[in-house]
Amino acid sequence: MRNSFLKFLICLLTITSQTFSQFKFISYGSEIFSLGGNARYTSLGNTGSAFANDVSAIFFNPSLLTNLKNSQLQIMHEERFQNILDYDYIGYSLENFGASIIRLAADNNLDTRNALIDVNTGNVVYNILDSNSRIDKNKIKYFSVTDMVLILSYAEKQTENFSYGGNVKIVRKDNAEFYANGIGIDIGASYKHNENLFFGITLQDATTTFIFWNTGTNEAIPPKLKFGSAYIVDIFYGNLTSAADVDIFFENRKSSSQFNLGKTSFDFHLGTEYVFNNVLKFRFGYSEIKSLNFGVGINFNKVDIDYSFSKLNKENNIGNNQRVSLSFSFSE
């Protein structure tokens, strides 16, 4: 199985490397892959590339699936930006394999393209300045703008301290009657220096992720590099985790990123988690969008309930985000 997975990745790299000239590179196309799953990591500022230990690891570093001790089911819902966007996620892991589905959507948008009519003839018109035109409410339709992604993951332990893994991402986009399909891969590796210090690196959209629209337009999402580190220490009937991640973009994001060096942009994440007696969990973080995050979690035997709150900058004026997730672990 491991050899088949590696052969597939090599084949995909070979095919896609010959098609760059047919695609238009787009900025910010990878944002849906950055939203994560479990509320735990949102409250930690979207850190996790070095230490994630649940099925949500696929969003940060797929090699970390080897940290899972049991099979796991995870579900999450979030309403973003004053309920404009719905974000939903479900993920399942079995041994070194993982499968996840994410959906980001703005539903119930008004489609008035064929609702403007001439009051005299009843025919559809397209000139909004026409004094004889009005909106016919019966002709108003609704549509959704939706991104959905199926992520299939595999990880392998090379040694006791070193793991590697990859994701295959199958993308579907819908916008009224327009739609697109796409595919891309991530590759990641993680290293355990000792019982306290951990490192991770991931190349997301490693081949670029290719999007094919039914209009004939082809788009490409350029690669993004993620580095992460984490230090975990036992303290006061529990353990304390301090983590830092950095995202490196190659799409000339300019002022929308925290730091720029030519066309290369850098975003930083910080997070701290204290777990008391493996039951109560308290988290704080600072994310790449300059939000201050906090969250709590509680463990009931094989069930984890996690909550996160993201305080966005006042200047954004787009509200704050809250996320709730449930995790169910199953003994082997």
Cβ neighbourhood burial of 174 (10 Å; 0-12, 13-18, 19+): middle
Contacting residues for 6 by C-beta, under 8 A, at least 6 apart: none
Report which of 51, 77, 144 is spatially closest to residue 105, judged by C-alpha positions: 144
Q: Are 147 and 163 in contact (CB under 8 A)?
A: no
CA–CA distances in Å: residue 235 to residues 240, 278, 304: 7, 12, 22
Cβ neighbourhood burial of 254 (10 Å; 0-12, 13-18, 19+): exposed
User: Which sequence spans correspond to the domains of the chain?
Assistant: 2-330
According to DSSP H, which parts of 92-250 are helical? Answer: none
Q: What is the pTM of this model?
A: 0.85
Question: Residue 104 and residue 146: Cα distance in Å, rounded?
Answer: 6
**Sequential pLDDT tens for the chain (332 residues):** 556 555 555 555 554 544 555 677 777 777 788 888 889 999 999 999 999 999 999 999 999 999 988 899 999 998 877 778 889 999 999 888 999 999 999 988 888 888 888 888 888 888 877 888 888 888 888 888 999 999 999 999 999 999 999 999 999 999 989 999 999 999 999 999 999 999 999 999 998 899 999 999 999 999 999 999 999 999 999 999 999 999 999 888 777 788 888 889 999 999 999 999 999 999 999 988 788 899 999 999 899 999 999 887 655 556 688 899 999 998 75
Helix (H) or strand (E) holding 12: helix 2-16
Q: Note the CATH number of domain 2-330.
A: 2.40.160.60
